[in-house]
Amino acid sequence: MSEPPRIAIVGAGAGGLSATVALAARGYDVTVFEAAPEPGGKIGTASVDGTTFDTGPSLLTLPSVLEQLLASTPVSLDEAFEWVHPDPAFRYLYPDGTTFETYGELERTLQSARHTFGDAAADDLESFLEYTQSIWEAAAPHFIFDHAPTLGSMAGLGFQAFGALRDIDPMNTMWSAIESRVDHPKLRDVLARFATYTGSDPREAPATLHCIAWVELGLGARGVEGGMFEIARTLTSIARQMGADFQFETPVRSLEVERGHIRSVETDEGRHPCDAVVANTELDYLDDDLLASQQATGPDRTLERSMSGWNALIRARRRPEQQRPAHTALFPENYQEEFRDIFDRRRPPHDPTVYLCAQEKAHRRDGWEATEPLFVMANAPPVEADELRRPEPWHELRERVMARLRSADLIASDDEIVWERTPLDLAERFPGSRGAIYGAASNSKWAAFQRPANRVDEVEGLYLASGSVHPGGGVPLCLQSGRLAAEAIEEDHSR
């Protein structure tokens, strides 16, 4: 009996872990090489004074992707994870004091909109979410759960494809679709914010991305007991049970390509022969570093980069009288100016939207006795302009964020930052990213067709699994990219 194919996974982020689990379940000989001391990639953690907190994604959508991934393993979804369903799910705050809350049940969210914005706005929201549901149902089979589509592959589906392309509404932008369907300006801001879930600009991103609103508000989002890092920890444990080997603190220096075929990965410890590689890396790092010495070229990487983000952890005094929700978004006076700052002026926003995650509520994480950990984020441009490679713009953004939180009475005057990460830090931690969180921004009507596929045609035996490639950024889509990479390996191996 022949030996199983040897697969090297470069990177233990969500995409790499998903590919590892899927391939180990199929009986492949899988070794994961990760430069960091632990798995997770952007699903990271940090600790301050004995309290550990998530530093990346803060909620989970589409748990069905995890369920499908685990279906071929010894562990079921419900055995692997316990869920947290915060109530309310999100609180949106406006400068004039208006508060709007969303819930895990769509009907309660519509009731909240009726209470906050009035009957007409609630009717607009209900109609808009029906529209987003139709986008999701048309897009998901072709653009999420199947291999990367092309215009040619869609044309081969005939009238079915034309119907799907019509329903995903790619010719409108997110903002034009909102303007034509929703009148209330504050509700428009809530719906435009879903563009930021892929680091994109609602003024340019296709209306197709409105399916994100349905995924969160219609299908529901949740927390993970113990924190989002439990996803990385659990998938690593399951993969090990099935025989996968993890080599942490072992960065891959290059990929060896011979006559157009992957032959090995090179680390400081030497050469590791393999039959295929799944690169869970940024595309620039793959081309400029891992393939640089091999005269081999990976997929196209000319797309505009997604947003970055400034992050911090605030050690906030507990307020028993204040019912802090799991997730809070504090809008500025003019939300459109934030996107002009980031995408047009290429600078940190002057008046940033501020996101807070109370991790005790969101994931039932432990905090300190008298204070609680609040994770804070403000959107920012990637580190491409020279002036953004200096610390000063990020110091100024920090001061603006803290001033906004204090003026909204979300934190006290003596609450302090105990951990901070700038886009400069993200760029250093994830080589080739320039600090961009989601790979490429979806700022084109053809975005669904432009992300690189999970199989690299230019190099036989090279596959991709990350937020930089199909089907896109965010935890569930990165997990799906790993599953699709594993499926591509299985298809190629069975020929």
| pLDDT at 295 exceeding the cut of 70 | no
What is the average per-residue pLDDT within 300-316?
88
User: Whole-prediction pTM value?
Assistant: 0.94
Token pair for 118: 């009035």
| pLDDT at 181 exceeding the cut of 90 | yes
Q: Check: CB of residue 366 under 8 Å from CB of residue 51.
A: yes
Q: So what's the pLDDT on residue 422?
A: 97
21-45 pLDDT, tens digit per residue, is: 999 999 999 999 999 999 999 999 9
Neighbours of 172 (CB within 10 A): 16
What is the average per-residue pLDDT within 255-273?
95
Give 423: exposed, middle or buried? Use CB within 10 Å, 0-12, 13-18, 19+: buried
What is the average per-residue pLDDT within 416-435?
96
Q: So what's the pLDDT on residue 297?
A: 56
Q: So what's the pLDDT on residue 120?
A: 98
85-142 pLDDT, tens digit per residue, is: 999 999 999 999 999 999 999 999 999 999 999 999 999 999 999 999 999 999 999 8
Q: Check: CB of residue 330 under 8 Å from CB of residue 190.
A: no
Closest CA to 415 of 280, 333, 314, 495: 314
Residue-range domain boundaries for the chain: 6-43+228-303+441-493, 104-217, 307-429
Q: So what's the pLDDT on residue 296?
A: 56
Q: So what's the pLDDT on residue 57?
A: 95
Q: So what's the pLDDT on residue 1?
A: 43
| pLDDT at 353 exceeding the cut of 50 | yes
Closest CA to 443 of 190, 200, 238: 200
206-248 pLDDT, tens digit per residue, is: 999 999 999 999 999 999 999 999 999 999 999 999 999 999 9
- For every residue of 250-281, DSSP letters joined together read --EEEEEEETTEEEEEEETTEEEE-SEEEE-S
Q: Which long-range contacts (CB under 8 A, 24 or more apart) does 179-182 make?
A: 181/124, 181/127, 181/128, 181/131, 182/121, 182/124, 182/125, 182/128
Mean pLDDT rounded to a whole number for the chain: 93
86-101 pLDDT, tens digit per residue, is: 999 999 999 999 999 9
Q: So what's the pLDDT on residue 147?
A: 87
Token pair for 90: 């999100």
Percent of the chain with pLDDT over 70: 94
Residue that wins the pLDDT comparison between 422 and 163: 422
52-73 pLDDT, tens digit per residue, is: 999 999 999 999 999 999 999 9
Domain range 6-43+228-303+441-493, CATH architecture? 3-Layer(bba) Sandwich (3.50)
Q: So what's the pLDDT on residue 311?
A: 98
Cα(205)–Cα(447) distance, integer angstroms: 8
Edge-first strand listing for the sheet containing 327-330: 99-102, 90-93, 327-330, 354-358, 371-380, 308-317, 416-421
Q: So what's the pLDDT on residue 132?
A: 97
How sure is the predictor about 159, in pLDDT bands with cuts at 50, 70 and 90? very low
β-partners of residue 375 are 313, 357
Q: So what's the pLDDT on residue 439?
A: 87
Question: For the chain, how are helix, strand and coil distributed in percent, rounded to 5?
Answer: 40, 20, 40
